[in-house]
Amino acid sequence: MASGSKLVIIAALVGNSLISITKFAAASITGSSAMLSEGIQSLVDTGNQGLLLYGMKRAARPPDEDFPFGHGKEIYFWSFIEAEKRSNRFPHTS
């Protein structure tokens, strides 16, 4: 994946982190359970970006004896896991 993609994912990670902090602060000030739920959702979004960065790092590994063609396709696995979380097939994570 291009370094531009990595930059976008990092920007989204930072943005979602700041959004979740803001929502948690608002939830604690107002006592709103809806805002607490939104904070948790933003925290899960931050985790999604973490999974994508992890996948990019693993996909960049060079070929080895077990994977003679390299690990480049591994990014698709981590993207799939992130999409599955978003589609609520993994309950209570999105």
For 41-66, the pLDDT digits (tens) are 899 889 888 988 988 888 888 888 88
Q: Answer whether residue 23 shows pLDDT above 80.
A: yes
Residue 91 lies in a domain: no
| Virtual torsion, Cα 21, 24, 30, 36, nearest 10 deg | 150
Which domain range does residue 76 map to? 3-86
Selection from 19, 72, 80, 89 nearest residue 51 by Cα: 80
**b/e map 52-77, b = 16+ CB within 10 Å:** beebbeebeeeeeeeeeeebeebbee
Residue 17 lies in a domain: yes
Q: Answer whether residue 92 shows pLDDT above 70.
A: no
Residue 92 lies in a domain: no
Please count the structural domains in the chain. Answer: 1
| Virtual torsion, Cα 8, 26, 35, 10, nearest 10 deg | 10
